[in-house]
Structure 1
Amino acid sequence: MFNFNRQFNSLQTPHSGYHWDGSDRRFFEGWYYRVTIPEEKQTFAFMYSIEDPMGNQPQSGGGAQILGPDDQYLCRTFPDVKKFWATSDKLGLGHWGKTDLTASPGYLEPAIFERYIQQGYQGTATFHQGKLSDPGTNQYCNWQYNIQPIYGWGNPEKPQQSTAGWLSSLQIFEPGWQILMAHGLATGWIDWNGKMYQFENAPAYSEKNWGGSFPKQWFWVNCNSFDGEPDLALTAGGGIRDVLWWSESVALIGIHYQGKFYEFVPWNSEVNWQIEPWGNWQMSAKNQEYEVCLTATTEHPGTRLRAPTQDGLIFRCRDTMHGKIHLQLTAKNRIILEATSSLCGVEVGGKIWRETWKQ
């Protein structure tokens, strides 16, 4: 087992650490871990959040949500912010719920966590473990797996990039968004209500967001389990975000493929999208060298998920991990890549919109 205190990862991205500055301003930070098990055609997505960590505020508290097999949903809240911990210099976080431990919360060796933490989770760039249960429904999930990062955000041999550009280091955009690991390999197990899922080198992904406000409206398309393309990861999304005293609509497409990063962002590309209220996501982008086109669809109804808002953690978005996607990347009319998957994650969030969102 790795030593967390000596953990060093050259793929660590900017913003991997915890952003809270200790003040009492309205603040949230959220983290997302995901594992896809292709042979089962199932995905587990784990979503963690902390709001107003100073405590004693109307929305102070933490949450943990899991989108499990067939888009089933499990959620637990952690009201005590003092039992949350996170590291400021690298990815590391956890929240203790029910436990006999009286020590200050922090990373625990897996065997100690397993013995003493009855409700809670902990995660780093290379490890993820937890236990959640709902006494009202008797649903539960226990998990433990190691992660081998393959791609952060950027070319793997170069310094990793801020997803929203270098200005995201300044407190200009609300919220901040960072892909922590565009692609990795997970090995371990997940126990979902008594069904054990064991996996080796399963596609894994992680991202985070933080700030004082969530986007007013957003969409997201993500997949790193493509048919016949084990070395391919796509993350695309867009939304209406706050920028100082105004709002703007922005979107990006990022592709990691065979050791290279293809980035389509507002400052280097023209990015277009056409997103229906549910069921169809279309995006395209082009710059001086490359052009990308993607279409994702789903017939699944999706599952409503909670997100941090001014009114706390409330249902604010809809997801399914069973989207179908077609992705094509070209360079001067030469096809570099054409790929499909039926294990694509798709999401719409924010205010409910009734008409197709075009930009």
Structure 2
Amino acid sequence: VELVSGWGGDAPRATAGWLASLPVFEPHWQVMVSHGLARGWVEWDVPNQEGAVSTVRYDFDAAPFYAEKNWGGETFPERWFWAQCNAGWADGNGAEDEGASDALAGLTLTAGGGRRALPLVPGGAAEDVAMIGVHMPGGEFLEWQPQAASVRWMVAPWGRWHFSGRSETHEIEIMATAEAKGSTLRAPTTRGLVPMCRDTFDGAVSLRIWALDAGGRRVGGSPMVDAKSNNCACEVGGGPWWEPWEGEARFGGGRIPKEGEDLAKAIVGLPFDMPALNALLPNGLRIPGL
């Protein structure tokens, strides 16, 4: 796999902030490769109408690649949603010329959220969280995390994913849809691996990003990025849930007093390299999974 972008630009960083590396949330989530180019092959056993099985080999070269890591407790979040796209970008205004697509080369979108457990809070507490990260064509990394931005979502049980985020410097809006029924996958639960997840890799996504001035106004009116793709991976899981899920990620789940919120945000936003710090600890004290 040829790495195009990991998470966070030149220096890898924790996807959900350094605090998420510690056992204060369940589960943990880290994007390892947000955009890569893969070469290799896959063999798949395909039965025919007579019941005989033949092996089909699929070769690929420079195929879009994504990898993430989940670890921690026994289960995935109570319910969750996710969208990721690193291929097939075109001008959102409908321009089909090759130059428009070349200008978007390297653009990568990852958005996700869910209801995660808080093991250190008594009573089986949980919180709803979400984040958005974008690697820009020029290499700049933009992110919208609850500790530094507002993040909202409206996600249907299937077929529609809407995200929006606003930080001090940028505003983003994402709309993804899926016409296909998707594929059911197994996910970790307290009852083992059960079919509680649905995915598609044929989602249609539109992405718009605006730069904001010091007063929070859009610079120039037009978005600095206006792109679309029909190669978006989309997912929902957990529950089951039957109604659209609308929410907003609040820093600390609204549990931190207002007078202490700024200090807490500053601490969470510190650029700690947790894997490097973890490697300095004696074996018996190292944090599992890092």
Deviation at 1:187, TM superposition (A): 1.7
Q: 1: distance between equivalents of 2:227 and 2:147?
A: 26
Match of 1:274 among 125, 136, 154: 154
User: Runs of 5+ in structure 2 lacking a partner?
Assistant: 46-54, 90-100, 213-217, 248-290
Matched, 1:323 2:203: yes
Q: 2:266 maps to what in 1?
A: none
Q: 2:126 maps to what in 1?
A: 247
Matched to 2:71, the amino acid is W
Matched, 1:206 2:67: yes
Matched to 2:134, the amino acid is I
Q: 2: distance between equivalents of 1:327 and 1:226?
A: 13
Q: 2: distance between equivalents of 1:195 and 1:292?
A: 42
Q: 1:191 maps to what in 2?
A: 43
Check conservation: 1:226, 1:339, Cα contact below 8 A.
Answer: no
Matched, 1:167 2:19: yes
Q: 1: distance between equivalents of 2:157 and 2:173?
A: 20
Q: Secondary structure at the match of 2:242?
A: coil
Check conservation: 1:226, 1:343, Cα contact below 8 A.
Answer: yes
Q: Secondary structure at the match of 1:320?
A: strand
Q: 1: distance between equivalents of 2:182 and 2:65?
A: 21
Q: 1: distance between equivalents of 2:140 and 2:172?
A: 15
Q: 2: distance between equivalents of 1:355 and 1:169?
A: 32
Which structure is higher in RCO with an 8 Å CA cutoff and minimum separation 6? 2
Deviation at 1:352, TM superposition (A): 1.2
Matched to 1:205, the amino acid is Y
Q: 1:121 maps to what in 2?
A: none
Q: 2: distance between equivalents of 1:203 and 1:336?
A: 24
Deviation at 1:190, TM superposition (A): 2.6
Q: Show CA shifts across 1:294-337 (max 9, x none).
A: 00001101111001110111111111111110011110334221
Q: Show CA shifts across 1:112-131 (max 9, x none).
A: xxxxxxxxxxxxxxxxxxxx
Q: Show CA shifts across 1:65-101 (max 9, x none).
A: xxxxxxxxxxxxxxxxxxxxxxxxxxxxxxxxxxxxx
Matches within 5 A, 1:112-191: 147-156=1-10, 159-191=11-43
Q: 1: distance between equivalents of 2:20 and 2:152?
A: 22
Higher percent of residues as strand: 1
Q: 1:287 maps to what in 2?
A: 167
Q: Show CA shifts across 1:2-41 (max 9, x none).
A: xxxxxxxxxxxxxxxxxxxxxxxxxxxxxxxxxxxxxxxx
User: What's the % identity of the aligned pairs?
Assistant: 45
Matched, 1:349 2:237: yes
Q: Secondary structure at the match of 2:157?
A: coil
Matched to 2:60, the amino acid is F
User: Runs of 5+ in structure 1 lacking a partner?
Assistant: 1-146
Matched to 1:335, the amino acid is P
Matched to 2:157, the amino acid is P
Deviation at 1:195, TM superposition (A): 4.2
**TM-score where L is the length of structure 1:** 0.57
Equivalent residues, number: 211
Check conservation: 1:226, 1:232, Cα contact below 8 A.
Answer: no
Q: 2: distance between equivalents of 1:348 and 1:280?
A: 10
Q: After TM superposition, where is structure 1 displaced by more than 4 Å over at least 4 residues in a row?
A: none
Q: 2:274 maps to what in 1?
A: none
Q: 1:256 maps to what in 2?
A: 135
Q: 2:78 maps to what in 1?
A: 216
Q: Secondary structure at the match of 2:15?
A: coil
Q: 2: distance between equivalents of 1:356 and 1:168?
A: 27
Matched, 1:300 2:180: yes
Matched to 1:234, the amino acid is L
Q: 2: distance between equivalents of 1:342 and 1:195?
A: 26
**TM-score where L is the length of structure 2:** 0.70
Q: Secondary structure at the match of 1:173?
A: coil
Matches within 5 A, 1:52-67: none
Matched, 1:234 2:109: yes
Deviation at 1:230, TM superposition (A): 2.7
Matched to 2:66, the amino acid is Y
Matched to 2:207, the amino acid is L
Q: Secondary structure at the match of 1:167?
A: helix
Q: Show CA shifts across 1:134-178 (max 9, x none).
A: xxxxxxxxxxxxx0111111012xx21111111122111100000
Matched to 2:181, the amino acid is P
